[in-house]
Chain A
Amino acid sequence: MAIFDVMGPIMIGPSSSHTAGAAKIGYLARCVYGKPVQHVRITLYNSFAETGRGHGTHMALLAGILGLHVDDARIRHSFALAREQGATVTFEEVLDPEKHPNTAVITFTDAGDRHPFVVEGISVGGGAVKIVGINGTRVDFSGKHNLLLVAYADVPGMMGIIGDRLAERGVNIAYAQISRDRNTRAAMAIMKLDQPCPDAVAAELKADHHVTDVVTIPRLGVEYERTEED
């Protein structure tokens, strides 16, 4: 643990897991989705469903989806903010013992898209979160690293290509995961990087005809949490 994990985060109350963690899940989901929000369905599971109302969990999830940080006083006004931005939102509350106690599944739909975009996150305590699913693919990242997510049709050599592009610009990979959907053969590579992913790398990867989507997310620490500011 770090001293600033004890002395922080600076956050909107009342709960680090159910308010700050919820806002962070929403924020990461927004980053992964990467488009203006038209309609979003938020499904809260278990403890989020049972005690979320008293902890502002619904407001916090929505606030994060709209781009607010954990210490933003506008979290409590996120419903009004969504209306202003023209985004519509629906909620579901579900009990499912198979899911982590603090789980949220966020489903983005856009009139222009054939399929909804689904992000699943869990709040693991003290404001720390994990994104555990993207469109049915199992993933595992927290926002503590710079991220490069590459969705592609599963072909040999993709990891090599991604690694080469990053190495050419001096970016080091700290951790890497790949997962694949058995049925669709859609694959996803998640690279946790020591430096932010350069735009040029994202553009080069996007140009590869096997690649369907590229998302880069700078580590949340630098600008997301005020205690992390340099």
Chain B
Amino acid sequence: MSAPKKTEATVRPRRFRIHGLSDAREYMKTGHLATLGEFFVLYEATNQDLPRSTVVSRMETVLEAMRQSVSQGLAHANTTRSGMIDAGAARMDRFLAEGGSLLGTGFSTVVRNTLAVAENNACMGCIVAAPTAGASGVLPGAYLTVADNFQIPQSRIVQGLFVAGGIGECIALQASLSGSQHGCQAENGSASAMTAAALVSLFTDDPDAIESAAAFALKSVLGLVCDPVAGLVEVPCIKRNVMAAVNAVASAEMALAGIRTVIPFDEVVQAMGRIGRDMPVSLKETSLGGLAATPAGLHIAEAFRKNAGLDQDA
């Protein structure tokens, strides 16, 4: 580094105040921080008044829980009491093993692992809500699969999770991460943007590339509604995790190819918030519209209400 290396004390304000990604990038520049991931490590340590090492070790715990959520979801054929989940990840695993992949095994592994975690969530397995339980398959499914494919060292994977968390924070600050407020664009859309940014951060520190990947991913899912059948986190949530994961990889590849977003990420987020506010309540996690209100959806909801017991074991 040509600039004199500043000590943490001179770089760190008492508290970081950001309104979005552009503020974070500004702090990065003035603080001579090499990466966005490092900025968000400092951001969390400073604002939560925690030692840097504590913040990093917490993210290592998150990473380990994400890894376990994949292996747990692949360990057995996942089914739920509604009957809507029928061993999707297990079927995808077989398809992969039998050489069925249309675009190579990497792509199918992203699909399989995303299904595994999203199904594990629906089956009351342990997951990391990143940013929500309903979108918990996206980061482990896409980000960890690619990271492991390239044998990225653990410390770099952890840094990427800070990029993901930082992008999610920027969305939370300007809009929301909640389906009941802004629809699925805020849940799987945010997860997709977080994952795209994290993926790019594995291969370049260029903040323009990271910002563009996040923007591409979110732009492509603007307007996506939250319409869960029977109010359960199953249909269409699980397949939308897969869509968000695949979208994240495509967005990351475009950014790594040097394509840059026309609309700045923060403005995409603000557009998402406006769209979410314009969205009718029937399409925001109330199960009153969309797929939940189809004849098939209503039929499943009715049957489930009649038959569901309180105790899964019983």
Contact = CB atoms under 8 A, between A and B. Distances in A.
A50 B62 contact: no
B308 interface: yes
B314 interface: yes
Contacts of A75: 124
A79 B314 contact: yes
Contacts of A80: 313
Interface in A1-40: 1-16, 19-20
B232 A14 contact: yes
B217 to A, nearest CB: 16
A59 B312 contact: yes
Contacts of A55: 231-233
B101 interface: no
A53 interface: yes
A71 interface: yes
A interface majority secondary structure: helix
B169 A226 contact: no
A13 B122 contact: yes
Interface in A151-197: none
Interface stretch (B43-51, B218-226, B242-250): B43-51
Given A13-B120, A56-B312, A75-B124, A3 B133 contact: no
A110 interface: no
A71 B121 CA distance: 12
Contacts of A127: 129
Contact of B165 (A7, A54, A71, A230): A7
A14 B134 contact: yes
A15 B134 contact: yes
A228 interface: yes
A43 interface: no
A126 B58 CA distance: 18
A1 B172 contact: yes
Contact of A79 (B61, B124, B125, B311): B311
Contacts of B40: 3
B231 A54 contact: yes
Interface residues of A, number: 42
B146 interface: no
A227 interface: yes
Interface in B143-191: 161-162, 164-166, 168-169, 172-173, 177-178, 180
A96 interface: no
B16 to A, nearest CB: 11
A226 B65 contact: yes
B126 A12 contact: yes
Contacts of A11: 126-129, 133
Of B48, B123, B131, B310, which is in contact with the most chain A CB atoms at under 10 Å from its CB?
B310
A58 B311 CA distance: 8
B8 to A, nearest CB: 18
Interface string A36-63: 0000000000000011011110110000
A16 B308 contact: no
Contacts of B58: 4, 227-229
Contacts of B35: none
A207 B162 CA distance: 49
Contacts of A12: 124-127
A8 B231 contact: no
Contacts of A210: none
B130 interface: yes
Contacts of A6: 130-131, 164-165, 168-169, 172, 177, 194
B136 interface: yes
Of B40, B126, B131, B314, which is in contact with the most chain A CB atoms at under 10 Å from its CB?
B126
Nearest to B130: A7
A229 B130 CA distance: 17
A126 B128 contact: no
Given A58-B310, A76-B313, A14 B124 contact: yes
A79 to B, nearest CB: 4
A229 B54 CA distance: 8
B96 interface: no
Given A6-B165, A71-B126, A77 B231 contact: no
12 contacts: A1-B172, A6-B168, A6-B177, A7-B62, A12-B126, A13-B136, A53-B305, A59-B124, A79-B314, A125-B180, A127-B129, A227-B62
Interface of A: 1-16, 19-20, 50-51, 53-56, 58-59, 71, 73, 75-77, 79-80, 91, 125-127, 226-230
